[in-house]
Amino acid sequence: MQNIKLDTSVQYIKGVGPKMFELLNKLGIYTVKDLLEYYPRTYEDRTKVTSISDFQKDSNVLFFGRLVKPVSVVYARGKKIISTVVTDESGSLAFLTWFNQIYIKDRLKEGMTYLFYGKVSSVSPTRATLESCSIYDVEQLDKIQGLYPIYSLTAGITQNYLFKIINEIMDQELLLNEIFNDEFRKKYYLPEINYAVRNVHFPKSYEMVNMARKRIIFEELFLFQLALMNMKDNNLVSTKTNVYNDLDCSEFLKIIPFELTNAQKKVVEQIKGDLKSNIVMNRLVQGDVGSGKTMVAAIAMYLAVKNGYQASLMAPTTILANQHYLELSNYFGKLGINVDIITSSTTKKQKEKIIERLKNNEIDILIGTHSIIEDNIEFNNLGLVVTDEQHRFGVKQRMKLSAKGNVVDTLVMTATPIPRSLAIILYGDLDLSVIDELPPGRKTVETYVVNDSYNQRVYNFLKKHIDEGRQVYVVCPLVEENEDLDLNSVEKLYEEYKKEFAGYNVEILHGKMKNKEKDEIMKRFKENKTNILISTTVIEVGISVPNATVMVIENADRFGLAALHQLRGRVGRGSAASYCILKSNNKSAIARERLDIMRKSNDGFLIAKKDLELRGPGDFFGIRQSGMPEFKLANLLTDTKVLEQTQQAVKEIVTKDKHLELEENRSIKEALFLKYGEQLRNIVG
């Protein structure tokens, strides 16, 4: 054991042979460091040593016992039953039994005293009975007494085994590298890392374990946010010269046919504060479906133009870009502000004309899709960039658009309701604003959950609404039928609905179509020339058709709750009552629970929180596929205070030493590379 180091394979630890090494690998434990960082999931309270005379039925007890009779082994019903009787200073007796653990016969000797821990199954005037007690030597009291760690296991590995081999490593006094200096730890009330690791595994009190866990969670979240900020290549303290002096938007507010909600007004004031500051704006505006984010962005763009700058809005789809263009050009046209649009549908000739006008400052606001970030698109004086539905774009795309100006203010909008804890992680570089109020008159969408046995009733319901002049969306997960998945495909549904709704106008829309074709289909739907639109989730983002009042979602259990809420937000945009019908044949309890949340609530933030609780952070919005690590201890739902602390700590360090070049940050930089490796090498220093 003399040569054991942190990177030593666990197979060289005493008690770990080839078979146990393979089992430990299943738990993600390969090295000594992995073992030290395999933290308990909970604890048993073993702080008190109990006399046998004080035993109570069903209580868990830690006690000393001296064997008053030899260990016996009897065979009954195919089992080996091992038993003995012990006593202590109280003089009371305890009858102990184990099943099929024959090694205990050699482990326990008559007349010797041992330390036991187990659950009391019965108590009588003459003796107590316990089954399957854990056995320790009396010298181990100091390690056993306290909060006993309970680890996640795999078949073949026991709690006692993990406790024993982690103890073996702790005795080596191997030191993990402390990345924070004394001053930093004092500021954030953090113990030293090795003290924390020891007290996570073998704490004496809940106070100690809470302090130790906070230290480890802090480091996990600190390194991740530091990596995230560096991967975003974001200068957190960029200063700007384009400070806005004229922040009066009263002229714009006069031409819109409604008054802003209090929530919108609050966010507008936050944006004004950013625009008049000499620090570059990086702000995320979250707002539930229909909360009026676009109007807030329009005010920001109006102020940019009023102060002599150009503005740009990038949307994830041609349909949404066109919708923004139609709405905003209508308002801005009344103020003499020139708005144009560029998408993949824009012809080469049109694009050349737009590029020329953009360079000559003849276009004040450019709206577009990914086409807007093409290299040949050049602005004369870009001052503000708005990105709609941020999670649909990669960070590099957003940065590429911002790079088309000198120092550009950035406003990011999302209707995807992200719990604050997750927003801090995903958008650690952005200040967060929330529009948590819907405009007056916005209808609550009645939601129902049904299975296929309701098909005819659903069809009749749709016909009734169409006959009243309304329109219907039908959404499903797949484009083409897949025999391996029992899901309705768009094409299959289209055929079924054409047959069932003969005499009505039914159309199909999916992402495999060309943009021009999709635009034409949506145009017909918006003009009420189509009664039913069968679609994939291509209609999820932003499309507004006030006359559409019913949304049917097939195989609804296959969607995340956030996606279901987004889809449901396509209806209820007009004055008529609106409905969402979630169809699912999945009978599992978790599927029913998730859909029941949708039935009961129209609050996007509550739904997102429940989605995160049920699915876990890794699956939320598919973040796991985007490289978000699984944390060993951190929990995004419960550790929000530590999240906010680490965000502030990272900003302070990066502000002072962006590339971590100072000696005081050398250990932090090493830990960052150790954890996130090659993906950072071209970014950090």
In tens, the pLDDT along 9-26 reads: 999 888 898 999 999 999
Cβ–Cβ under 8 Å, residues 573 and 603: no
CATH superfamily, region 48-144: Nucleic acid-binding proteins (2.40.50.140)
pLDDT lower than 50: segments of the chain: 1, 234-236, 618-628, 682-685
Q: What pLDDT is attached to residue 486?
A: 57
Domain ranges in the chain? 48-144, 175-235+639-685, 250-435, 446-626
Q: What pLDDT is attached to residue 628?
A: 47
In angstroms, rounded to a whole number, what is the distance separating the alpha carbons of residues 321 and 343?
8
Residues in the chain: 685
Tokens standing for residue 108: 């326990």
In angstroms, rounded to a whole number, what is the distance separating the alpha carbons of residues 620 and 616?
6
In angstroms, rounded to a whole number, what is the distance separating the alpha carbons of residues 415 and 608?
11
Our CA angle for 456, 459, 462, nearest 5°, is 150
Q: What pLDDT is attached to residue 685?
A: 40
Q: What pLDDT is attached to residue 415?
A: 75
Give every CB contact of residue 112 below 8 A, 6+ residues apart in sequence: 66, 67
What is the residue-wise DSSP string for 212-254?
HHHHHHHHHHHHHHHHHHHHTT--TT-B-S--------HHHHH
Q: Do domains 250-435 and 446-626 have the same CATH topology?
A: yes
Cβ–Cβ under 8 Å, residues 669 and 662: no
Cut 0.75: pTM above it: no
For the domain made up of 446-626, give the CATH fold: Rossmann fold (3.40.50)
Phi, psi (rounded to 5 degrees) for 521: -65, -45
User: b vs e for 269-303, b when ≥16 Cβ sit within 10 Å of the residue's Cβ?
Assistant: ebbbebbeeeebbbbbbbbbbbbbbbbbbbbbbbb
Our CA angle for 368, 371, 376, nearest 5°, is 120
> H or E segment at 35?
helix 32-36
Q: Which of 325, 262, 268 is nearest to 297 (CA)?
A: 268
- Which own/partner pairs from 457-464 qualify as long-range (CB within 8 Å, at least 24 positions apart)? 458/552, 458/581, 458/583, 459/500, 459/501, 461/550, 461/579, 461/581, 462/501, 462/532, 462/550, 462/552, 463/501, 463/504
- Letter for the amino acid at 206? Y
In angstroms, rounded to a whole number, what is the distance separating the alpha carbons of residues 38 and 374?
47
CATH superfamily, region 250-435: P-loop containing nucleotide triphosphate hydrolases (3.40.50.300)
Phi, psi (rounded to 5 degrees) for 130: -135, 145
